[in-house]
Amino acid sequence: MSQATPPAGVQGRHLAELDQGRFLIQRCQDCGQHIYYPREICPHCGSKAVEFVAPSGRGTVYSTTVVRRKPAEGGDYNVALVDLDEGVRLMSRVENLAPDAVQIGQRVKTRVLLKDGKGLVVCDAETGEEE
Ligand SMILES: [Zn+2]
In this structure, what CATH number is given to the domain that contains residue 120?
2.40.50
Residues 23 and 64 in one domain: no
Q: Report the alpha-carbon distance of residue 15 to residue 99 in Å, rounded.
A: 26
pLDDT class for 122, splitting at 50, 70, 90? very high
Which of 25, 54, 83 is the last residue in one of the domains? 54
- Note the residue count of the chain: 131
Residues 46 and 80 in one domain: no
Q: How many CB atoms lie within 10 A of CB 76?
A: 14
Cα–ligand 1 centroid distance for 29 (angstroms): 7
- The number of angstroms, rounded, from the C-alpha of 100 to the middle of its chain's C-alpha atoms is 20
Q: Which of 128, 129, 131, 60 is nearest to 94 (CA)?
A: 60
Which of 32, 54, 76 is the last residue in one of the domains? 54
Q: Report the alpha-carbon distance of residue 83 to residue 27 in Å, rounded.
A: 15
Residue 12 confidence (pLDDT) = 95
Residue 26 burial by Cβ neighbours in a 10 Å radius (0-12, 13-18, 19+): buried
Number of domains in the chain: 2
Higher pLDDT, 60 or 5: 60
Q: Report the alpha-carbon distance of residue 76 to residue 69 in Å, rounded.
A: 5
pLDDT class for 6, splitting at 50, 70, 90? low
Residues 28 and 86 in one domain: no
120: β partners = 113
Cα–ligand 1 centroid distance for 101 (angstroms): 37
Residue 79 DSSP SS3? strand
Residues with CB under 5 A from ligand 1 (ion): 28, 30-31, 42, 44-45, 47
Structural domain range at position 78: 57-131
Cα–ligand 1 centroid distance for 50 (angstroms): 7
pTM: 0.87
